[in-house]
Amino acid sequence: MEKVMLNNGVEMPLEGFGVFQIPDAVQCEQVVYDAIRTGYRLIDTASAYGNEAAVGKGVARAIADGLAAREELFITTKVWVNDMGNEEDAYQAVKTSLGKLDMDHVDLILLHQPMKDYFAAYRGITKAYREGLTRAIGVANFYPAILTNLCETVEVMPAVDQVELHPFFAQAGALENMKAYGVVPQAWGPLAEGKHGIFTDPELTAIGSKYGKTAAQVALRWNVQRGVSIIPKSVHVERMEQNIDIWDFTLTEEEMAQIAAKDLGHSEIVNHDDPAFIKFVLNLH
Ligand code: NDP
């Protein structure tokens, strides 16, 4: 498992495990425990997922059973839009998340969306960072223009920008922009949330057969090989095992280009340029 050095010197595993859409607390605790037992060392949650307490319990049980030490684990959570109206709300949201996780610090706090007063919210998580409540700070869904505006303005550069990245939405330009600012790209939906027939895609399957790998493993390998951190989610242990078994093969340059050519140039999961989507999110709470 490779690690990547963030722009403040903190090391982050290049692959982690996401827990979006696991609302059941009992299942989520077990899934987190299973993921750590399988070898994942990064767990990605968010206050909006409603499962931080379950994640904390799964992590605590794994540590108690000797599967990993806290220092080996990298825990990410996110501040949701309803706590992004001002600096103090965002700062307090970090403390609330820590309380639910039952941890004295996390490893990464992200602003979940570039919505409401995200500069004030960024100052809130910067304060939490300076107080040691998190080892790094970053953002999610900050597309090139707004990421640029943020990076050109703030005192503490974001370490990570977590955006949708998979073969059908490759975002090469966004990656170039992040690289220019030393921001590590992290893929949400690295398996396209199962869309586009990704698991049976003929090209990904054919490439995988050369290495004894599945289409899913080829899609994940493609992202890490271009320097993108990935956080695939699965509630099934055999898929967790499959998704982390990507570190013993290397795609050729031709295969990397062939996969990049599958890019549709737009998301079919969410459109951040659509005013209706922004209003929908703002009205969730
Ligand atoms: P993914 O691209 O990881 O896809 C998850 C889906 O793929 C699930 O339905 C899962 O099913 C299925 N799956 C996983 N592995 C396999 C496999 N090997 N073969 C077949 N099916 C498989 O989508 P996510 O949206 O979950 O993204 C990953 C993580 O990114 C999230 O969990 C979350 O932590 C984060 N995220 C962040 C967002 C943001 O705005 N910052 C937005 C969305 C996600 P099953 O579980 O049944 O196995």
Q: What is the pLDDT of residues 66-96, one digit of tens each?
A: 999 999 999 999 999 999 999 999 999 999 9
Mutate to test the pocket of ligand 1, among 234, 236, 240, 272 (most ligand atoms within 8 A of CB): 234
Res. 285: pLDDT tops 80: no
**How large is the average pLDDT for residues 153-168?**
98
**Alpha-carbon distance 30 to 225, whole Å?**
30
Of the listed 49, 118, 122, 129, which one is catalytic? 49
Sign of CA dihedral 119, 139, 127, 78: positive
| CA–CA separation, 269 and 35 (whole Å) | 25
Residue 51 has pLDDT above 90, yes or no: yes
Least confident of 59-63, 131-135, 232-236, 281-285: 281-285
Q: In this model, does residue 168 exceed pLDDT 70?
A: yes
User: Is 199 a pocket residue for ligand 1 (Cβ < 6 Å)?
Assistant: yes
**Is 33 considered catalytic here?**
no
185 lines ligand 1 (CB under 6 A): no
Q: Can you give the pLDDT at residue 1?
A: 78
Average per-residue pLDDT for the chain: 97
Q: C-alpha 262: how far from its chain's center? A: 22
Closest-lying ligand 1 atom to the alpha carbon of residue 78:
41
Q: Which amino acid is at 165?
A: L
Residue 225: name the closest of 258, 250, 208 by CA.
250
Under 8 Å between Cβ of 74 and 48: no
CB contact at 8 A, 40 and 232: no
Answer whether 163 contacts ligand 1 (Cβ < 6 A). Answer: no
Q: Give the bridge partners for 44, in sequence order.
A: 18, 76
Q: Are 244 and 216 in contact (CB under 8 A)?
A: no
Name the closest-CA residue to atom 41, ligand 1: 140
How many Å apart are CA 102 and CA 59, to the nearest integer? 10
Per-residue pLDDT at 14 exceeds 80: yes
Alpha carbon distances (Å) from 56 to 77, 194, 263: 11, 27, 36
Distance CA 192, CA 176 (A): 21
Strands (E), 52-125: 74-79, 108-111
Measured between alpha carbons, how far is 221 from 243 in angstroms, rounded to an integer?
Answer: 9
